Structure 1
Amino acid sequence: MLILPCNASAQTPQQILKEVGITPHPGQSIPLDAVFKDHSSDEISLREALDHQPAVLCLVYFDCPMLCKLSADGLVRAVSEIQEEVGDDFQVIMVSFNPADTPEKANLARQRLIQKYGRSPEGSGWYCLTGSQAEIERLTSAVGFQAHWDETIQQYAHASGLIIVSGEGVITQYLDGVNYVPRELSQAIKAAGDEKVSEKSANSFLTCYLYDPTTGRFGSAVQWTVRILGGLTIVGMLWMMIGLQRQNLSQNDSD
């Protein structure tokens, strides 16, 4: 998979959004010999980061204005509510898909995650990694991750989700969204520990693109998606209220 620069004049936002996402590859392996830099600028391979334990892998970039932070916060909330301990039972590995990201940015992101998690002040099991374009592409290709850099707005168009891998680097499951159900995450980690590849992997993922930091708003493509989802939610609530009212009327008539 290539993370390619985009020219806004050549492609519309809708075209770009169609080209980004995550194509699940359950059962395939990540490149364990791929080498990245950790928060201290030390080189570390994915094999060393896994250390024969299951892991939650998350692809981010540390300057993401919205979705990466939401996904990271959702992950911390979920792992804070499960019995398994980061570092003892599984690893959390966040890898930046932006080759321009630095270990300094990774360190800031890692400290924020550790502080929110609260269970292990020393940060055992928490990895925030940066790397070269070549090593990033080896990993993103293996997990089916596709993103585009838009030079005009200086942002990536990308999807968000969690990739669960076994201690030997086999992809066992994908989880979508930014708010993760603790029970589902716990089950996915246990299954990865047993080398069980799930058939229930997600196949649709939230996409982040066209966030304008000067206005605090997303571009029209994402705005319309949010509006449609909001409208469907309102319709669903109204339908439920009508159903309850009808049920109450029926009960009154029977009385």
Structure 2
Amino acid sequence: MFKDIVLAVIAVGFGLLLNAQSVSSGLKEEANIYGKVFDAPLRVAENDSLLFHGLYNRKPLILALVFTRCYGVCNPFLLRLAEYIQLRDKDDSFSVLVLSFDPKDSVDDMKLLGKRYGLENNTQWTFAVTDSIESLNRSIGFYPSWDSSIEQFDHDALLVGINNEGFITKKLIGIRQPHDLDLLIASVNNIFSPTYRLPNRNALFSCFNYDPKTGKNTPGLGLLFIALPAIVTVILLLSISYFVRHKPLG
């Protein structure tokens, strides 16, 4: 009996952990929104460089962070993005910057990456490296970590929407559905999206309350209501266990 109760508590705890991971991913997508991207110097060819604003001032920008030696998500991530943009029937309202966050990547490495996807002559796409990747990463809230045991970066598959004034309008983590990418492109073109609810005093049951002045989230009542069933279940299981163990033998 007690063993079953312990297993049930572990299952509830695992469910809470999965929910926390989902919330954590959502919070990372909100981090640095409406902040300005760092104006990093970019190298797009051996003798050709420009500042970041030289791209987003021309057209709103979708920024994809990758590294060329990635054995994991980078390739399917870029492939999905390229397929999606190709299906948009030559929508030229934005540009795409594929930027390496690996200091070991060179301009030639990024050229080969573009060629791998048949994008080397596509003017909508730019493949680049920068010597200021740490400052750029901080400005967008991107923190890859190097795992020396497998010689790979542990990182999110991140897309960042940047409007033509250099402000971050939306972030997407992971390989997403076309609808999510539609919202990203709408955001960089300053198109209102009715799916976003603006913060207001009537939103009493939000999981997190976002303060646009500080850019921080604080826990809301909604988070308590989500966790409440699990908390009540654990309390009931512990109570039953206590009474079973202390029940007088008749």
TM over 0.5: yes
Whether the 8 Å CA contact 1:54–1:165 is kept in 2: the answer is yes
Aligned mates of 1:105, 1:97 — CA distance in 2: 12
3-state DSSP class of the match of 1:175?
strand
1:79-118 matches, cutoff 5 A: 79-83=85-89, 85=91, 88-113=92-117, 115=118
State the partner residue of 1:186: 182
Report deviation, 1:69.
0.7
Seen in structure 2, the aligned counterparts of structure 1 residues 131 and 183 have a Cα distance that, compared at 3 Å, is: same
- Aligned residues of 1:52 and 1:168 also touching (Cα < 8 A): no
Between the aligned partners of 1:129 and 1:164, the Cα distance in structure 2 is 17
- Cα distance, 1:182 vs structure 2: 2.6
CA distance in 2, matches of 1:161, 1:83: 24
- SS of the residue corresponding to residue 36 of structure 1 reads strand
Deviation at 1:166, TM superposition (A): 0.4
**Where do 5+ consecutive residues of structure 2 fail to align?**
1-20, 198-250
Contact 1:39 1:106 in 2 (8 A): no
Q: Which residue among 112, 128, 144 is the counterpart of 1:147?
A: 144
Partner residue of 2:167 out of 170, 173, 178: 170
Tell me, what secondary structure is at the counterpart of 1:159? coil
Partner of 2:36: 29
Counterpart secondary structure, 1:38? strand
Query: 1:147-182 deviations in whole A, cap 9, x for unaligned?
Result: 11122321111111211110111111112222x333
Counterpart residue type for residue 125 of structure 2: W
Output the CA distance in 2 between the equivalents of 1:65 and 1:108: 16
Higher Rg: 2
The CA deviation string for residues 126-162 of structure 1, in whole angstroms up to 9 with x for no partner, is 1111122xx1011100110011112232111111121
1:1-255 map, 5 Å: 22=28, 24-32=31-39, 34-83=40-89, 85=91, 88-113=92-117, 115=118, 122-132=121-131, 135-178=132-175, 180-194=176-190, 199=196
TM-score, scaled to structure 2:
0.61
Name the SS for the 1:173 alignment partner: strand
Percent of pairs with identical residues = 23
Bigger relative contact order, structure 1 or 2 (CA pairs below 8 A, ≥6 apart): 1
The one-character-per-residue Cα deviations of 1:62-82 (angstroms, maximum 9, x if unpaired) are 110121111101111111122
Give unmatched runs, 5+ long, in structure 1.
1-17, 201-255
Structure 1-normalised TM-score? 0.60
Work out the CA distance in 2 between the residues paired with 1:39 and 1:186. Answer: 30
Deviations 1:87-140 (A, max 9, x none): x32110111111110011100111223x2x6xxx731021111122xx101110
* Paired amino acid for 2:76: L
State the one-letter code of the partner of 1:27.
Y
